[in-house]
Structure formats: C-alpha cells, structure tokens
Amino acid sequence: MRVRLIGIGPGGPDDLTVAAVRALESVDVFLVADKNRGVDDLVDVREDILRRHTFGAHRVIVVPDPPRDRNPERYGDEVRDWHAARAAAYESVLLEQVRDDETVGFLVWGDPGLYDSTIRIVDRILERGRVRLDYDVLPGVSSVQMLAARHRLVLNTVGSSILVTTGRRLGTGIEAGADNIVVVLDGGLACSELRGQWNIWWGANLGTDDEELVAGPLTDVLPSIRAARIRAKNARGWVMDTYLLRRC
C-alpha cells in the first residue's frame, strides 16, 4: 500500500504547491479526521480543496478522531496516548476499507514537518506491523511562511537566530533569552502575559477569505488581536493563529 502525506497549507484552498496538487491526482482514498467539535470541523475545507484540485475518481473516508484532554497534567503522556489511539483508528480503516493496490492520501494542515503529528502516526502504524505500506511526504506552505509573507517580514534579524515554539512553551523560551520568537498553537494568547517592550506581527486563519492581521507594539494592539480572534471564530467557526514576537 502506498501512503502520501500531502501538505495543504494553512487554510486557503489555493495555497497548495504544484507538487501537492499533482500528488492529489495520484490518490485513490483520502482519510480525513473528524474532530467532532461542531462548527470548527475542518473536514469541509479539505473537501473544498479536493473539489478544486482533483478531477479523477476518489473516495473520502472520514475517520472520527479519538478524544483527548487539551490541558492535562502530563502533557507528553496524553499526546502519546492520543497518537496511539489515532494510529489504531487509521489502521482499522486501512485494513477494512482500503485495498492493498490503492494509494491513500492524508491532507495535512500546513506543513507535515512543523508541529503536526501525521508522520509520527504513520510511523506508529508501521511499528504495529499489521499494515504493510510505503509513504512519502509532500511539503506544504506553513502558517509561519504565510505570516511572514502577509506582513512582508524577514523572520530573522541580521546575524540572529529565531525560536519557533508554542504558546505553552513561550515563557520557557523567553527565560532562556530568546527575543525573536515565532509562536504557533496558542489558543490562550500567552503573549498577553508578557512584560517588557515587544512588537508583534499576528495573523489568524491565514490564506482564507476571513484572515485577520494585526501588527504593532504588543501592549497597544492586544485589544485589536482579541477582537480579531472573535471575528475569525465567528466567520469560520475556528481560529488558527500564528505570530512573531520581537523584543524592542
């Protein structure tokens, strides 16, 4: 069985690479996770991408995503357990609903190599030994790249490094001395707790018709960011935001 992990960008149906669009045409069966969280379900976005960019016959199998605790005491253990449950769910579909001669596609939000679990989950399926498969990875445009483009930014300053981290780990990065930081996966807007002088370049639902952009001194623009997050959630039912912080 052949499996293709295809990066589809941060949300816009036209932000796929040419290689990704070509890869879509090679797929017989697409597996799409249904997180069952109501209006913030992203299945429709993936189906829109397929309507726009595929012309041959294919099947879409929606796989219920196992539940997880978003704020556990032992975060690493919870995520590993969730990955194991996802691997078992996909393995079951592969064994029961996909033929060995078919090609399976996973439509991966953003880029498969940046804060995404699909590669790890496919590796877990292989480790379980019940499904024989080969897989490849098609990179995608990440929200980090899209943020830089929208704000016309060079993410690093001359001769400096840049930290890419999550909202959960932002404080740890700053304590270690980071002063040029890209933050992803920050549903709690951790930057609102920062002290000192920072500039922020923020974006939500990048690449969609309802994307939001805010930039300026952090303390000045936090109210605008909060209002923009509400607009984004009301427009699409979900918010995925990314931002660059730079100490003044």
The domain segmentation of the chain, as residue ranges, is 2-138, 143-247
Is the confidence at residue 74, as pLDDT, over 90?
Answer: no
Q: Assign domain 143-247 to a CATH class.
A: alpha beta
d(CA 6, CA 209): 22
Q: What is the pLDDT of residues 80-137, one digit of tens each?
A: 999 999 999 999 999 999 999 999 999 999 999 999 999 999 999 999 999 999 999 9
Angle between helices 118-128 and 75-97 (to 10 degrees): 60
Give residue 38's pLDDT. Answer: 54
Mean residue pLDDT of the chain comes to 93
Tokens found for residue 40 = 């913030």
Q: Do domains 2-138 and 143-247 have the same CATH topology?
A: no
**Which of 13-27, 41-55, 61-75, 181-195 has the lowest average pLDDT?**
61-75
Whole-number pLDDT of residue 140: 97
Residue 100: partners with Cβ closer than 8 Å, 6 or more residues away: 1, 132
- pLDDT per position as a tens digit, 131-172: 999 999 999 999 999 999 999 999 999 999 999 999 999 999
What pLDDT, on the 0 to 100 scale, is given for residue 36? 65
pLDDT (tens digit, 9 = 90+) per residue, 21-57? 999 999 999 999 887 655 456 788 888 999 999 998 9
Cβ proximity of 186 and 200 under 8 Å: no
Question: Top-level CATH class of 2-138?
Answer: alpha beta
pLDDT surpassing 90 at residue 11 = no
